Amino acid sequence: MAERTPRRPRRRLIAAAALATGVLTGVAACSPGPSGESATSAKTSGPVSTDPAKAGKVTLTVWDQNTDQGANASTEALNKAFMAKYPNVTIKRVSRSFADLKTTLKLALSSANPPDVVQANQGYPDMGAFVKAKLLQPVDRYAKAYGWDTAFPSQLLDLNRFSPDGKTWETGNLYGVSQTGEIIGVYYNKAKLKSLGLPPPTTLTGFETALAKAKASGLQPLSYGDADKSPGIHIFGVVQALAAGKSEVRKLVFDEGDAKWTDSGTLKAATTLRRWADKGYLGSGFNGKSKDQAVDSFGQGKSLFLLEGTWQSAVLAPKMKKNVGFTALGPTAGQPPVTQGGEGLAWSVTSKSKHSDVAGAYIDFLVNKNGMKAAATHGNLPALPPADYKPAPGTVDADILTQWKAVSEKDGLLPYLDYTTPTFYDTLTAAVQELTAGHLTPKAFTSRLQSDYSSFQNSR
């Protein structure tokens, strides 16, 4: 032992030194990620061929997030129709749920053989990052060739625009178009509302009055469950849209101007939400209840309201038939509604796609009149409702269509708040849980959001 001790550390030392040298050389030699300008092999500009039939034998790989029943059915029908129309094109569809797509798309896009068409989420965290890394190509030339630039209202197009460096949203190149629309609104139980002697609410004040009246009569005012964390963004967003107004919310999320999350409008929204929680409007134990449980309890008629996205109509309509209505709130009576929402994930073409013209034609197939119609017939809300799409009166789908038209055509669409910064989803969802549980004052809540915001602004 005594003779061996001195030797072993020395040998270990040599090994450690060798390892360290190796690691350091590696570190110094290359940095992770692409080095500087990435050369794109395929052409991303020039004239467009709008006839895929002339493209020869093509396999188009498409990544979408249409795993919900209705969305899946319409995508499958359209893919089939496209392949029937152009037998030379084979569509290889990869469909993942929203969360799975969000976590795997980055890896897929940065690989050597990315898919041709992908659904990219709007906002700085996803589309902005992809554009910055030059993984998506501008589709302005297809927009012109297929007339998307005139068919879509500008606020829907702007959501899919980014400056070429990915740093400024809502301006610059168009990086995709969307097939469906969605807004967050108020689902109400018609029979329960009638028994309270109330009309469907149209403003935030009216909504709060109804909440109070329901509570007083012993009825659960709102079904709310935030264990999944995402519903927190929706409920806060809806309140903020009305309390702070559309121009302030847009400034905050699109990062235009010098609006702050600590400004009075957002503070008022936080105070309102906290009051709802304190008064028991949100029920008890909401931070331990899942989103599905909340939707389910509203569907069973256990509460008056549900604040949710239009996508829940497919779940609620079969259960509640014509007893469920949908509305979006406006800032004051008589003004058009303003709410959170947007369009489905944008259909985008990747930079490395070898068949970008076919990809463009495919996207047009999804978003042209026929594509919108297919989406509608399978129970989705088309971004551009065709003139002949008329859901049966009295159904929740009819309400949703009316509200979507009112919101999207009268400039009432506000972006989801988690688009704000790459980490905003985490910051906001955690903060909402703390605010509603009484662990964070409205003021501390707003400064938490602002600190995430300003560190993002400084890093850009």
Partner 1 sequence: MAATAHRPTARKRPAGAPTREPVRRRGRVIQWKGYLYALPALVVLTVFLLVPLGQLVQISLFHWDGISVSTWAGFDNYTEIARDPQLRAGFLHSFVLILFFSVIPIALALVLAAVTTRAGRLRGVSVFRAMIFLPQVVAMVVTATAWTAIYAPDGVLNTALRAIGLEAVARPWLGDFSTALPAVGLIGTWLEIGLCLVLFIAGIGQIPAELYEAAKLDGAGAVREFFAVTLPGLRGQITVALTLTVIAALRTFDLVYVATHGGPGNATSLPAYEVYNRAFGTGQVGSACAIAVTLTAVILLLTFLITKVQPQEDET
By CB under 8 A, the residues from 315 to 374 that bind partner 1 are: none
Q: Which is nearer to partner 1, 70 or 166 (CB)?
A: 166
CA distance 69 to 426: 28
Our CB check for partner 1 shows the closer of 149 and 434 to be: 434
Specify which residues 174 forms β-bridges with. 161
Which distant-in-sequence residues (6+ apart) come within 8 Å of 52 by Cβ?
58, 86, 88, 89, 357, 358, 361, 362
Using rule CB under 8 A, residue 442 touches partner 1: no
39 counts as binding partner 1 under rule CB under 8 A: no
Q: Indicate which single residue of 45, 88, 90, 103 sits in contact with partner 1 (rule: CB under 8 A).
A: 103
Q: How far is the CB of 20 from partner 1 (least distance, A)?
A: 10
Q: Is 6 in the site for partner 1 (CB under 8 A)?
A: no
DSSP at 125:
I
Residue span binding partner 1 (CB under 8 A) among the ranges 31-39, 172-180, 317-325, 329-337: 31-39
d(CA 16, CA 113): 38
Closest approach of partner 1 to the CB of residue 51, in Å: 33
Q: Which two tokens stand for residue 324?
A: 């469920």
Nearer to partner 1 among residue 129 and residue 196 (C-beta): 129
Residue type, 457: Q
Write out the H or E segment, with its range, that includes residue 60.
strand 58-64
By C-beta, is 166 or 379 nearer to partner 1?
A: 166
Q: Provide the minimum distance between the beta carbon of 100 and partner 1 in the complex, in angstroms, as a whole number.
A: 10
Residue 429 engages partner 1 in binding (rule: CB under 8 A): yes
On whether the CB atoms of residues 224 and 294 are closer than 8 A, the answer is yes
Three-state DSSP at 199 gives coil
Given candidates 10, 26, 41, 112, which one binds partner 1 under the rule CB under 8 A? 26
Contact status, residue 204 vs residue 331, Cβ threshold 8 Å: yes
34 part of the interface to partner 1, by CB under 8 A: yes
Closest CA to 174 of 347, 375, 358, 386: 347
Strand locations in 129-219, DSSP E? 136-137, 161-162, 173-174, 181-189
CA dist., res. 219 & res. 152, Å (int): 42
User: Mask of contacts with partner 1, 192-231, x by CB under 8 A?
Assistant: ----------------------------------xxxx--
Q: Which stretch binds partner 1 (CB under 8 A): 83-91, 171-179, 279-287, 386-394?
A: 279-287
**Amino acid type, 47:** P
Find residue 326's DSSP bridge partners: 187
Position 277 contacts partner 1 (CB under 8 A): no
387 binds partner 1 (CB under 8 A): no
Q: Looking at 42, 55, 81, 133, which residue binds partner 1 (CB under 8 A)? A: 133
For partner 1, which is the closer residue by CB, 280 or 288?
288
Min dist CB 57 to partner 1, Å, is: 31
Taking CB under 8 A as the criterion, the residue among 62, 159, 210, 431 binding partner 1 is 431
DSSP conformation letters of 253-316? HHT-TT--TTSHHHHHHHHHHHHHHHTTTT-SSGGGS-HHHHHHHHHTT-EEEEEEEGGGHHHH
Q: What is the three-class DSSP state of 419?
A: helix
Residue range at the interface with partner 1 (CB under 8 A); choices 22-30, 206-214, 246-254, 349-357:
22-30
Q: Taking a C-beta distance cutoff of 8 angstroms, is the pair 348, 176 a contact?
A: yes
Closest approach, Cβ 283 to partner 1, in A, equals 9
Nearer to partner 1, 6 or 47 (CB): 6
Based on the shown chain and the rule CB under 8 A, indicate whether residue 71 belongs to the binding site for partner 1.
Answer: no
**What's phi and psi for 222, nearest 5 deg?**
-135, 135
What count of other Cβ atoms lies within 10 Å of the Cβ of residue 397?
20
User: Which of these segments, 101-109, 168-176, 306-314, 348-356, binds partner 1 (CB under 8 A)?
Assistant: 101-109
Pick from 289, 291, 355, 378: which binds partner 1 (CB under 8 A)?
289
Q: What is the dihedral of CA 131, 137, 141, 145, to 10 degrees?
A: -120
Q: Does 57 participate in binding partner 1 (rule CB under 8 A)?
A: no
167 binds partner 1 (CB under 8 A): no
# residues contacting partner 1 (CB under 8 A): 53
- Residues in touch with partner 1 (CB under 8 A): 1, 4, 7, 11, 22-23, 26-27, 31-36, 102-104, 106-107, 109-110, 125, 129-130, 132-135, 166, 226-229, 284-290, 293, 422-423, 425-426, 429-431, 433-434, 437, 439-440
